[in-house]
A = this chain, B = another copy of it.
Amino acid sequence: MKVMFLGTGAGMPAKARNVTSIALQLLEERQTIWLFDCGEATQHQILHTSIKPRKIEKIFITHLHGDHIYGLPGLISSRSFLGGSNDTVTVYGPKGVEEFVQTSLLISKSHLTYNIQFVECTDGVLFEDEQFKVIAKKLDHGIDSYGYRVVEKDLPGALLIEKLKELPIRPGPIYQKIKNGEQVMLDDGTYINGQDFLGPSQKGRIITILGDTRYTTSSVELAKNADLLIHEATFAAGDESLASDYYHSTTKQAATIAKLADVKKLLLTHISSRYQTEDEIKQLEREAKSVFFNSEIAADFIEVDIPKNRH
């Protein structure tokens, strides 16, 4: 599980930072990639990475501002030419994403080789399967802007082979049942509990990716105990009133969310192009670190590993 930042700028593209997009790479977990936001030229940024567009399984849109969605028609069309077929891409986002994408595809006469489906965002569980659960919650950005909490389910513990070998059974389908932690009857009529033959389970990871927002307690709820929180920081500390006027956050506000939510790591993105030099970026980072030490300012193309939790 790795996060790759494809765009970390705000509002307009700049040479140093493209507009927003984040790739959550779940290659080990499910051989797919989930994209969060898709600003213009996200497909161009991808050309400079090892990401394969046909691996993109889900696209989560936080809100409908142009710097977060104008790359959708191009990416979705190109995916057809890049081997994306016989599968389905699901796009989650506020009402309007579907109309934008469908109008663009229709007018440009783009035909997809794969299925695309749209799920309109509401507060609550947006997606769930055996591996992952995604919870959405509205933030505070003037227009509907969502945060996403991606929860990996706990992984069952490994089968304790040596302990199993002491039982009068042979390897076979019964092993799978034990591995699933089920209760199983042995040949001699006695029962064993699969759970007793499993190592400790592994706690799933939590990644919280928020759309543009003011400082809001909804962010704390979404980020609670996350392994990684990705929060915008459009303004420097001290510009709180400006940030509020524009429905954005400062470095210190983002770091306060991280602290209150007790996350492991905070990455700040959506950095205004007014902060250009290395010194200015370092200063933003210092501001965040003064509130929450494990803070970092993201940059285009940085990749962050989210390590498995130890037992």
Contacts and interface: CB of A to CB of B under 8 A. Distances in A.
Instruction: Identify which of A47, A69, A70, A96 gathers the most chain B CB atoms within 10 Å of its CB.
Output: A70
A62 interface: no
A109 interface: yes
Interface in A48-72: 48, 64-66, 69-71
A110 interface: yes
Interface string A100-135: 100110011110000000000000000000000000
Nearest to A13: B44
A16 to B, nearest CB: 10
A11 interface: yes
Nearest to A71: B40
Interface stretch (A73-81, A157-165, A202-210): A73-81
Contacts of A110: 65-66
Given A11-B81, A18-B44, A44-B41, A99 B104 contact: no
Contacts of A12: 43, 78, 81
A74 B73 CA distance: 12
19 contacts: A13-B41, A13-B74, A14-B47, A15-B48, A40-B40, A40-B43, A41-B44, A64-B107, A64-B108, A66-B73, A66-B108, A66-B110, A69-B107, A70-B104, A97-B107, A99-B103, A99-B107, A100-B107, A103-B103
Contacts of A40: 40-41, 43-44, 71, 73-74
A77 B69 CA distance: 13
A13 B43 contact: yes
**Which 3 A/B pairs are nearest by Cβ-Cβ distance?**
A41-B41, A66-B108, A40-B74
A166 B65 CA distance: 68
Contacts of A104: 66, 70, 100, 103-104
Contacts of A18: 44
A302 interface: no
A51 B231 CA distance: 34
A47 B103 contact: no
Given A12-B81, A40-B40, A66-B73, 8 more contacts: A12-B78, A13-B44, A40-B71, A44-B44, A64-B109, A66-B104, A69-B108, A70-B73
Nearest to A43: B13
A11 B81 CA distance: 9
A69 to B, nearest CB: 6
Contacts of A47: 13-15
